[in-house]
Structure 1
Amino acid sequence: MSAGHNHAQVRAGHERLLWIALGLTGSFMIAEVIGAFVTGSLALLSDAAHMMTDALALGISLVAIQVAKRAADRKRTFGYARFEILAAAFNALLLFAVAFYILYEAYQRVQAPTEIQSTGMLVIALLGLIVNLISMRLLSAASGESLNVKGAYLEVWSDMLGSIGVIIAAVVILLTGWGWVDSLVAAAIGFWVLPRTWTLLKESMNVLLQGVPDGIDIDQVEQAIRGVPGVKDVHDLHIWALTSGKNVLSTHLVADATLNTEQKILTQVTELLHEKFDISHATIQVEGDGFEHDEHDEVHA
C-alpha cells in the first residue's frame, strides 16, 4: 500500500512540474514564433519550432498522466499506466518530423538567402534561453523517473541548445554580415536532435515490446532466485515494464519441499525481487520436485 502511495506522490510531483514548464514555454512560444517571421531568421524559426513542440509535448505528457491515473478495471487489469509510454513515443516521432523539416528549410535557404535582422534575433534568442533553462531545471530530476517526463525534458534541452546556437549565429551575423551562418546553425540543430530522439524512441519501444527494462540483467535475476534455499530450477522467466518504474516479473520455480515450504520460498523470492531488483509485482508458480513441464501447457501472465 505504501509503495503505491509513494508512486502516486511521484506522479503528482511530475504533474506539477510539467504544468509550470508548460506555462513558461507556452507564454514565450507565441513571441518567439512572431519574432522568427519578423527577423527572417531560419535558426530562430527552428528554435521556435522546437519551442512549439515543447509546449505540445508538455501538454501530451500532462494528458498522459491524467489518463494513467484511471484505476484498473475488468477490461484493463493493469490500468492505463502505459499511456505515458505511448506519449513518449509520440513525442519522439514529433521531434523527428521537426528535425527533418528544419533540415529541409536550411537547404532551401542556402539556395535562396534572405535578409536577417540579427539584433532582434539575438534578443529573442536570449529570452528563449532563459525560459528553457528554467524549464530544464524544473524537469531534470523527474526525467530520470519517467520516460514521459524524459521526452518533455529532452525537447526542452534540445531547444535550450538551439537557443545557444541562435545566439551565436546572431552575434556572428551582427559582426560579419554572414547570413549563411543562420542556415548552418539551423541544420546543426536538426542533426543534433536526431540521435537523442532515436534514443527516446528506442527506450519507449522496448517498453511497448515488453523487453527487459534498462538496468535489469535477467541472468542476474535468475541466479539470485536460484540462490534461494529450496529452489532447484527456474524456467519461463519473463521481466518487463508496464511504464517507467513499474517492473513486472513472472516465472515458474521447481522447489524441493524437503528444504523449505512453498510459502516460505515464495516469500523469500518476492522479498528478494523487491529489495534487490525493484520488482514489486511478481507472479510466481511453484512446482513440486519431479513435475513434468509441458511447453504446450504454459500460461503466461
Structure 2
Amino acid sequence: MSEHHEHRHPHGHEEHTQDVRAHRGHGPGRRFARWRHRLRHAVTPHTHDSSDKVDGALESSARGMRALWVSLAVLGVTAAAQAGIVVLSGSVALLGDTVHNAADALTAVPLGVAFVLGRRAASRRFTYGYGRAEDLAGIVIVLTIAASAVFAGWTAVNRLLDPRDMDHVGVVAAAAVVGFLGNEWVARYRIRVGRRIGSAALVADGLHARTDGFTSLAVLLSAAGAAIGWRYADPIVGLLITAAILLVLRDAAGEVFRRVMDAVDPALLGRAEDALRRVRGVREVGELRMRWIGHRLRAEVALVVDADLTVRQAHDIAVDAEHALLHAVPKLTAALVHADPAPAADGPDPHLALAHHMTA
C-alpha cells in the first residue's frame, strides 16, 4: 500500500500535535479530541483555504518589497547628501564613494524583480513556481559585492602608487559619517527582514549594504589621516577595507551557495522528525527531505505505517502527519507525504519493483 498526500495550507500559529495524535483514536475519546481540535482552530488564527495560503506567501513578498523600497529611499537620500558635499569639496575620493553607493543601491532592482516573479502562480512549465528567482538575484548581489571588492582594491593600489592631498577634510569626514550611518541602517533592516521571511538574497543584499558602509568608513579614516598630514592613509585604509569586503563576500556567497544547493538547517529536520514521530499511527519516519524555493520551504517524507491499514486509514495518517509538519516547521508551505506499509518478516520488499532503479 502506498499513499501520497500534499496539502497547501497556511499555519500561522504554534504547533499542537497532541490534538493530531488524538485524532487517530476511536470512540468517545476520539470524538472529544476532534471537538477540542475544532474549538482550538475556532479561537486561533488558522485557515485551510488555499487562497489564504497565497495571501501568506504574498505577505512575505510584500515585506521584502517594502524593505527594498524603504532601504532604497534611505540610500538615495544618503547618496544625494554625499553628492552635495562632493560639489562643495571637490573630493575625488568622496565622489568615488558616492558613485559606488548609488550604483550598489541599484542591486535592489534584481531582488525586487525576483519578489514580483515569486508572486506568480505555478504553471505547467514552472511547476514549483518562480521562487527560485530569489536565488538568481542573490547570485547577482554576490557578484556585485565581488566587483565592489575589486574596485576598492584597485582604487587603493592606484592611490598608493600616486598619493594625493585631500582638501576640505572636515566636510569629507562628515559625508563619510553620513554614508556609513545610512548604509549600516539599511544593512540591519534588510538582514532583519530577510531572516524573518527566509530570503537569503535579501540577507545577502543587507551584507552588501554593510560593505558600502565600510567603504564610507574608509573615507572617514582617510580624512583623519589627511588631517595629520599622512598622505598614505587613504590607500592603506582602502586596502584594509577591501579585506573587510572580502570577508563579507565570503559570508554572502556561502549563504547564497547553500540556498542554491538546497541546504537546510539540520535542526529543522530534527524538529520535523520529532513532530512526525508524535503522530498516532506513524511507526517510523523513513526518508525526509526539505528544500527552499525562494523564501518558502517544501518537504517530502516517507512514513512507515501498519501494513493492514486501509487506504482511507493510511490517508488519514498522512494528513495528520502533514498537519503536524505545517505546525512544527516555520515557513513550511507544502509537504508531500508517502505512506509505506511496514514490511513483514517473511514478506516481499514493498519497493522490490523499484530496486533496479536505485542508485548505489
TM > 0.5: yes
Q: Distance in 1 between matches of 2:74 and 2:272?
A: 43
Q: Distance in 2 between matches of 1:249 and 1:58?
A: 30
Indicate the structure whose relative CO is greater, using CA pairs within 8 Å and at least 6 residues apart: 2
Q: Gapped runs of 5+ residues in structure 1?
A: none
- Which deviates more, 132-141 or 119-128? 132-141
The match for 1:125 is: 176
Larger Rg: 2
Deviation at 1:56, TM superposition (A): 1.9
- Residues 133 and 102 of structure 1, relative CA distance in 2, 3 Å threshold: closer
Task: Check if 1:266 corresponds to 2:324.
Answer: no
Alignment of 1:238-253 (within 5 A): 238-244=289-295, 246-253=296-303
The match for 1:160 is: 213
User: Which string of whole-angstrom CA distances, capped at 9 and with x for unpartnered residues, describes residues 247-280 of structure 1?
Assistant: 1111222211558921232122112211222333
Secondary structure of 2:202's counterpart equals helix
The letter of the residue matching 2:193 is: A
Q: Is the 8 A contact 1:40 1:114 kept in 2?
A: no
For residue 340 of structure 2, the aligned residue among 264, 279, 287 is 287
| TM-score, normalised with respect to structure 1 | 0.84
The match for 2:226 is: 173
The match for 2:70 is: 20
- Residues 253 and 137 of structure 1, relative CA distance in 2, 3 Å threshold: closer
Secondary structure of 1:218's counterpart equals helix
Deviation at 1:53, TM superposition (A): 4.2
Q: Distance in 1 between matches of 2:266 and 2:236?
A: 38
**Aligned residues: CA RMSD:** 2.8
The match for 2:9 is: none
Deviation at 1:129, TM superposition (A): 3.2
| TM-score, normalised with respect to structure 2 | 0.72
The match for 2:164 is: 114
Alignment of 1:25-64 (within 5 A): 25-29=75-79, 32=82, 35=86, 38-41=90-93, 44=94, 47-48=97-98, 50-64=100-114
The letter of the residue matching 1:206 is: R
The match for 1:230 is: 281
Q: Is the 8 A contact 1:257 1:289 kept in 2?
A: yes
Q: Distance in 2 between matches of 1:14 and 1:167?
A: 31
- Residues 209 and 130 of structure 1, relative CA distance in 2, 3 Å threshold: closer
- Residues 90 and 280 of structure 1, relative CA distance in 2, 3 Å threshold: same
- Residues 132 and 258 of structure 1, relative CA distance in 2, 3 Å threshold: same
Deviation at 1:140, TM superposition (A): 4.7
Q: Distance in 2 between matches of 1:160 and 1:237?
A: 42
Deviation at 1:19, TM superposition (A): 1.5
Q: Distance in 2 between matches of 1:98 and 1:129?
A: 16
The letter of the residue matching 1:139 is: R
Q: Distance in 1 between matches of 2:210 and 2:129?
A: 31
The match for 1:141 is: 192
Deviation at 1:171, TM superposition (A): 2.6
Secondary structure of 2:163's counterpart equals coil
Q: Distance in 2 between matches of 1:241 and 1:137?
A: 23
The letter of the residue matching 2:213 is: M
The match for 2:251 is: 199
The letter of the residue matching 1:273 is: L
Q: Is the 8 A contact 1:253 1:287 kept in 2?
A: yes
**Identity between Structure 1 and Structure 2 (%):** 24
Deviation at 1:190, TM superposition (A): 1.4
Q: Distance in 2 between matches of 1:190 and 1:101?
A: 9
Deviation at 1:51, TM superposition (A): 1.0
- Which deviates more, 124-133 or 30-39? 30-39
Q: Distance in 2 between matches of 1:151 and 1:171?
A: 31
Equivalent residue pairs, number: 293
User: Which string of whole-angstrom CA distances, capped at 9 and with x for unpartnered residues, describes residues 189-219 of structure 1?
Assistant: 21112122222222222222222x2364435
Secondary structure of 2:302's counterpart equals strand
Secondary structure of 1:249's counterpart equals strand
Q: Distance in 2 between matches of 1:137 and 1:13?
A: 15
The match for 1:277 is: 329
Q: Distance in 2 between matches of 1:223 and 1:19?
A: 40
The letter of the residue matching 1:182 is: D
Deviation at 1:139, TM superposition (A): 3.1
Q: Distance in 2 between matches of 1:196 and 1:137?
A: 14
